[in-house]
Amino acid sequence: MEDESREIKLTDDEQELLNELLDDSAKLSETGESRRQFLRNVSAASAAILATQMLAEQKITAYTPTENVSGASYAIENGVKVVMKVNGAEKSLNVDSRMTLLDALRERLELTGSKKGCDHGQCGACTVIIEGRRVLSCLTLAATCEGKEVTTIEGLAKGDALHPMQAAFIKHDGFQCGYCTPGQICSAVALLSEAKNGEASYVTADVRTKARAVQLSDEEIRERMSGNICRCGAYPNIVAAIKEVHTGKDVAQTWQFAGETGVAIFENAEMNKEGA
């Protein structure tokens, strides 16, 4: 509990706000309404708001979930117990048989990095890595993940050190809105090991010769990343980021923050004229 007798120190901004408020109430009293009446009105309004809220809460808590409940505040039908490892930590859940891995991650484990884009396996925003393989968490039932090792975007960095793919996406500006990015990065991380294993793609020149590890051209990267849609169209930058991590060679950054000369143009009076 706060110590009510403690003197409250206001910041300058807060003091200014308070003065304005007192000023307003003074004006009110000038128009015939006493300051006391004003405060009474304010209290009544607050009580009304509070009462509405309490009524709403009562209504919510009056809802009784059906029998299959696991302490959660919503109903679970056909509950399935599942224990999986998520980003290295063991997680035990009782899930509705219908719950997808994506919803389990986001709604139950508070890992909201993986995104729900289309929820039908067409966009790749929900891509996570299970047992080293990239998969779609929106088309994976949580119930089927018993004993599985799941890695999400939250599990890629080591403390404050970003995964090289995360760092490369920043360097190359591999996103605009960022919604597809966690899926893009998980997908790209798995792609690296697929290339290392010599796996082929539809654009691989000759699938019969199995190289130990494949060097991916831009065309190969594009084909292998085709399951991840980016509505902002950051594809060239995504390819550059993946290429840099895949080859281990620096790929030139194609953008930079505007320098003094770059900014100067906007200070041109002619250009800033109305209608210019």
Partner 1 sequence: MRPFKYTKVNDAANAVQAVAANANSKFLAGGTNILDLMKEDVERPDVLVDITQLNLTQIKTVSEGVNKGGVSIGGLGKNTDAANHPLIRQNFPLLTQAILAGASAQIRNMATNGGNLNQRTRCSYFYDVAMPCNKREPGTGCGALEGVNRMHAVFGWSNDCVAVHPSDMCVALVALDAVVKVQGTDGAERRIPFIDYHRLPGNTPQKDNNLNQGELITAIEIPKNNYADKSYYLKVRDRASYAFALVSVAAALEINGNKIKQARVAMGGVAHKPWRATEAEKFLTGKEATEANFKQAAEMEMKQAKQLEYNKFKVELGKRAIVRALMQAMNGGKV
CB 169 within 8 A of CB 241: yes
**Residue 134 interacts with partner 1 (CB under 8 A): yes or no:** yes
CB of 7 vs partner 1, minimal distance in Å: 58
Nearer to partner 1, 27 or 133 (CB): 133
Kindly tell me the burial class for residue 131, based on how many C-beta atoms sit within 10 Å of its own C-beta (0-12, 13-18, 19 or more): exposed
Restricting to residues 72-131, which ones interact with partner 1 according to CB under 8 A?
77-78, 80, 96-98, 100, 119-121, 124, 127
CB of 62 vs partner 1, minimal distance in Å: 24
Contacts of 197 by beta carbon, 8 Å cutoff, 6+ apart: 213
CB of 209 vs partner 1, minimal distance in Å: 9
CB of 229 vs partner 1, minimal distance in Å: 8
* Helices 12-30 & 35-62 angle (0-180, nearest 10): 110
Nearer to partner 1, 220 or 244 (CB): 220
Contacts of 179 by beta carbon, 8 Å cutoff, 6+ apart: 115, 117, 125, 231
Nearer to partner 1, 82 or 241 (CB): 82
Identity of residue 47: A
CA dihedral sign of residues 94, 95, 101, 103:
negative
DSSP 20-46: HHHHHHHHHHHTT--HHHHHHHHHHHH
Restricting to residues 220-249, which ones interact with partner 1 according to CB under 8 A?
222-224, 226-228
Nearer to partner 1, 25 or 152 (CB): 152
Nearer to partner 1, 147 or 275 (CB): 147
Tokens of residue 3, six digits: 């110590």
Q: Tell which one of 72, 176, 194, 235 touches partner 1 (CB under 8 A).
A: 194
Residue 163 CB neighbours (<10 A): 18
Residues that bind partner 1 (CB under 8 A): 77-78, 80, 96-98, 100, 119-121, 124, 127, 133-136, 139-141, 143-144, 146, 187, 190-191, 194, 197-208, 210, 222-224, 226-228
